[in-house]
Structure 1
């Protein structure tokens, strides 16, 4: 195992949105982890916690400012408004890259086990550039959430998107991986899919995810579904293939209906069925709307990319 030196400056990036209830405790826990690693001489004394306030409406930024005044190991950046979780991670990595050599991202609610950080750092010192944190079970989730998660990973695998199963945004990345990641200019970020595509030596650390102790989840079902949809449409045109398949299927059904109508006509059954006509109209209309919506989604993403607007705006920066 390598020994510590000034090149092992660890930056723990913590995205936070309306986390005033949990953030104080989270900072204490994470700072203790950081100080332990420094004491063990696994990371540099120049290591820091960098909290990214993603446009919170509560006292999150005030807590960050107060903590930074009390500790040299805590710093933060403040977005001008809410830009979303993925952009908060990218913003934190961008702002802190000059100050660090290895980076860990973890959410402020600390449902991810901070003890896994020790193993992540050990793996980094053993030569791994990326260390993914992955859950070893989903006992804390509802049956519906477990089913949707399993379905999502299977679907992404089917359409050719490489993901680390049960891994979210709790991970360690080396400086050179962060440099490659920051070269990705796209607006529609899905970091769980981008990181595996970069390559470099990687491994996985498994841990048991805890239930949230304080505050409310910032990722309800609506946001989770939106993130899943972003992941699918950002990495694959499989939905477009689905539209093509549905179009072919609809055409096949229309030929079957035409054949059926001809048989009925030859048998003297000339009265047209109102029900079959209505079903056909609704069926075809529904497929057309689905197709237009999926095509529109891709066009919308292209539209956003062409404008090249900033992914985040930093209003205040405490890094020094």
Structure 2
């Protein structure tokens, strides 16, 4: 089956240091896509891998005509690698999936059938069984979704990650957004397009180690909150008001003590007040700094990723990696 200029389906796969799992992933994915009976492409985005991932992708591409390889010059992060794939995907429908096989490729057929049958622009893959994840992973994931719903007020599907199907309409809408730090699990529901869900059981990672350690999970949560809500700024305002109220109450108590003729040692109360107000100021400055940092990043106008190779672009047309 040849690759059309506009295939029916594009599968975007961010990859970072996945030399061990890539052959296993191809063994599961290719029969599924070949069995659909539609033209397709698989667009792997090598997010600056430092192991043998580029060599493995080159071997796979020589035996799989529908496989495209986009290589980023440096590690840009999972969401930016996904952005690079969405910008270059040509399919009428686009599925994003991780390479670790925790999201089963067989579900893609169900997603495509649901999107076509009900004329949906978005189909979320929803994890109904996360027993293969560690208790800590399940707890932090649940905390993340509760936090996001409460802070942003968004209708984010519970336990829906970056395994989803998008129509060409949804992809075009996403790629037109000026986001430099995208969080697609929030951006996609924000579009408000007709959507559905396909449940599936999350599997164990087939090989290698997770590329989402605790630090990256915290960064994702921080990007989600600061990118979609002004609640942290309001928290700073609330804390400031509470601090003023506390100072007022303390002042009234001190005045009452003075009028009662009781001598009150001042060192302890002064120390507590100074520490409290200093901590409050630092917290407010830190919250404001998060938003200033986002403004600074936007003003710089730097591309979120840099492409060093794209197998679909001929050498004389290759560009320097600004999203096309």
Cα deviation, residue 150, structure 1: 2.2
Cα deviation, residue 49, structure 1: 1.2
What's 1:48 paired with? 41
Structure 1 CA distance for aligned equivalents of residues 12 and 72 of structure 2: 14
What's 2:16 paired with? 17
* Structure 1: runs of 5 or more not aligned: none
What's 2:316 paired with? none
Structure 2 CA distance for aligned equivalents of residues 249 and 140 of structure 1: 44
Alignment partner of 1:104 out of 79, 95, 116? 95
Structure 2 CA distance for aligned equivalents of residues 283 and 143 of structure 1: 36
Q: Does 1:284 align with 2:283?
A: no
* TM score, norm. by length of structure 1: 0.92
Alignment partner of 1:181 out of 159, 171, 174? 174
What's 1:113 paired with? 104
What's 1:128 paired with? 120
Structure 1 CA distance for aligned equivalents of residues 133 and 246 of structure 2: 41
What's 2:34 paired with? 35
Cα deviation, residue 62, structure 1: 1.2
Cα deviation, residue 319, structure 1: 2.2
Q: Which runs of 4+ in 1 moved over 6 A?
A: none
Structure 1 CA distance for aligned equivalents of residues 71 and 189 of structure 2: 29
- 1:233–1:66 Cα change, 3 Å: same
CA-to-aligned-CA distance 1:188-245 (integer Å, 9 cap, x gap): 2111111111122210111111121311100011101100110110011000000000
What's 2:288 paired with? 295
What's 1:238 paired with? 231
Q: Does 1:139 align with 2:138?
A: no
Cα deviation, residue 267, structure 1: 2.6
Structure 1 CA distance for aligned equivalents of residues 163 and 237 of structure 2: 37
- 1:7–1:91 Cα change, 3 Å: closer
Structure 2 CA distance for aligned equivalents of residues 213 and 268 of structure 1: 75
SS at match of 1:21: coil
What's 2:318 paired with? none
* Structure 2: runs of 5 or more not aligned: 314-324
Cα deviation, residue 6, structure 1: 9.3
CA-to-aligned-CA distance 1:123-144 (integer Å, 9 cap, x gap): 1221211100011133233333
Structure 1 CA distance for aligned equivalents of residues 126 and 291 of structure 2: 30
What's 2:309 paired with? 316
Q: Does 1:228 align with 2:227?
A: no
Aligned residues: 308
Structure 2 CA distance for aligned equivalents of residues 60 and 208 of structure 1: 27
Alignment partner of 2:203 out of 189, 206, 210? 210
What's 1:148 paired with? 140
Q: Does 1:72 align with 2:65?
A: yes
Q: Is the 8 A contact 1:101 1:174 kept in 2?
A: yes
